[in-house]
């Protein structure tokens, strides 16, 4: 799986706007592979994107889905009050902090109906029965994992490939369960460490992801045994990406560190540090998607107003090194850099 790509780069699914059919099609045309982001969308909106992408490219592409978790038991009242002040500032009402399952069953039905060739899952594994349904339909299944234990669980349900996510990665950690600690509890693995540990446990194809922004990084993870590298932040400022202007500007300006925060969504996610991250992270409860639904209209209003201090500026640790321009030129640069890295490695012979 993914070993037949002309260039083993995968455009990561980026829910919330950045991923567009145009981005997926452009990366496919340049010899890579792209995932549409199914998260947050209604099944109808995802169906439109699948249809649009199929119109733009004859190449195969994937769809990523969020596996729903349980309803939150945390007390949200303090966090709600904090966000209420921001909402008042923009003259909007906070969203309802309610649980939902992200229309999981309907979207799974859609990818089955459309026979999407690769379906990837984040925040958990699909059930073994759903994996069987996808297999029977000709689809391959990839699961994002952040620890060796999660890798074992993904192998156990019958995944065909694992997306091995290091803590460098932008936006949400793919954690199966969010536990205590700013980063979601448990051990934190960098992408190379996790790749090594997971490849010691399984022969499944591994896709490396997290902080990979240069062709040399792609060469590095291939050398470490990955079949491909999945890049998110590297494409956030691509012409074809749907990234909001204020987010693009904050990325281009640089100068901000990144940090894990539950402030925006109730799940640990890596964002550029802004006022919301600084002020709200310490008290942000583990309550996804309740907090995400709460803050959504406020973040949208901040985005419209071009205010980077209250938006979720999700990005990986190496964001300052990511470029802009057409996705094809970004892929071309990565390819040149990867080849240069491979030449440097030839001294090992
Ligand atoms: C803005 C943004 C949104 C993301 N949304 C998703 C998503 O919907 N599903 C998913 O599996 N991963 C998502 N990711 C994580 C990527 O799949 C990938 O692991 C990450 O981008 C890798 O780190 P990098 O951003 O440093 O390349 C997102 C990443 C970013 C930056």
57 Cβ inside 6 Å of ligand 1: no
Can you give the pTM of this predicted structure? 0.98
168 Cβ inside 6 Å of ligand 1: yes
pLDDT in the model for residue 338: 98
**Residues 173-228: tens digit of each pLDDT:** 999 999 888 888 778 999 999 999 999 999 999 999 999 999 999 999 999 999 99
37 Cβ inside 6 Å of ligand 1: yes
Residue 89 DSSP symbol: H
pLDDT in the model for residue 185: 79
Four-residue CA torsion sign, 324, 328, 330, 332: negative
Confidence of residue 234 (pLDDT cuts 50, 70, 90): very high
Judge whether residue 166 has pLDDT over 90: yes
Residue 321 DSSP symbol: G
Judge whether residue 263 has pLDDT over 90: yes
Instruction: Please identify, by atom number, the ligand 1 atom nearest to the C-alpha of residue 18.
Output: 1
CA of 18 to the centre of ligand 1 (A): 10
Cα distances from 226 to residues 8, 15, 210, 221, in angstroms, run 9, 24, 13, 6
Query: Which residue's CA is minimally distant from atom 13 of ligand 1?
Result: 14
Share of the chain above pLDDT 70, in %: 100
Give the lowest-confidence range in 11-20, 66-75, 208-217, 290-299.
66-75
| Cα 19 versus chain centre, distance | 10
pLDDT in the model for residue 182: 84
Judge whether residue 131 has pLDDT over 90: yes
Confidence of residue 349 (pLDDT cuts 50, 70, 90): confident
d(CA 227, CA 221): 8
Judge whether residue 232 has pLDDT over 90: yes
| Cα 117 versus chain centre, distance | 19
Count the helix, strand and coil residues of the chain and give each as a percent rounded to the nearest 5. Answer: 40, 15, 45
Q: Among 10, 11, 12, which is best to mutate for testing ligand 1, by the most ligand atoms less than 8 A from CB?
A: 12
Q: 130, 108 in Cβ contact below 8 A? A: yes
Class of domain 9-348 (CATH, top level): alpha beta
Confidence of residue 81 (pLDDT cuts 50, 70, 90): very high
Question: Mean pLDDT across the stretch 244-261?
Answer: 98
Token pair recorded at residue 271: 């964002």
Average pLDDT, the chain: 96
């Amino acid at each position: 799986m993914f070993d037949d790509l002309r260039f083993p780069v995968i455009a990561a699914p980026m829910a919330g706007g950045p991923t567009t059919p145009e981005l997926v099609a452009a990366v496919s045309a340049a010899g890579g592979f792209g995932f549409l982001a199914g998260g947050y969308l209604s099944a109808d909106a995802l169906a439109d994107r699948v249809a649009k992408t199929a119109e733009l490219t004859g190449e195969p592409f994937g769809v990523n889905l969020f596996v729903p978790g349980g309803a939150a038991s945390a007390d949200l009242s303090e966090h709600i009050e904090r966000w209420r002040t921001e909402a008042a500032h923009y003259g909007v009402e906070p969203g309802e902090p309610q649980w939902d399952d992200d229309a999981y069953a309907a979207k799974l039905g859609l990818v089955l109906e459309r026979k999407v060739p690769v379906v990837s899952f984040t925040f958990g594994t699909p059930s073994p029965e759903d994996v069987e349904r996808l297999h029977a339909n000709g689809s391959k299944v990839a699961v994002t994992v952040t620890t060796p234990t999660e890798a074992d669980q993904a192998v156990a349900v019958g995944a065909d490939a694992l997306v091995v996510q290091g803590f460098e990665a932008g936006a949400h950690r793919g954690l199966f369960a969010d536990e205590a600690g700013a980063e979601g509890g448990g051990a934190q693995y960098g992408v190379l460490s996790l790749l090594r540990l997971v490849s010691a446990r399984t022969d499944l194809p591994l896709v490396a992801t997290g902080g990979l922004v240069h062709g040399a990084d792609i060469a590095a993870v291939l050398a470490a045994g990955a079949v491909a590298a999945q890049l998110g932040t590297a494409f956030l400022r691509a012409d074809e990406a749907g990234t909001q202007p204020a987010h693009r500007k904050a990325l281009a300006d640089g100068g901000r560190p990144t940090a894990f925060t539950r402030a925006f969504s109730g799940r640990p996610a890596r964002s550029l540090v802004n006022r919301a991250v600084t002020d709200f992270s310490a008290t942000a409860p583990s309550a996804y998607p309740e907090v995400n639904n709460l803050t959504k209209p406020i973040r949208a209003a901040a985005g419209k107003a071009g205010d980077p201090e209250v938006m979720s500026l999700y990005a990986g640790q190496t964001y300052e090194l990511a470029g802009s321009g057409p996705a094809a030129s970004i892929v071309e640069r990565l390819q040149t850099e990867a080849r240069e890295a491979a030449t440097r490695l030839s001294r090992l012979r």
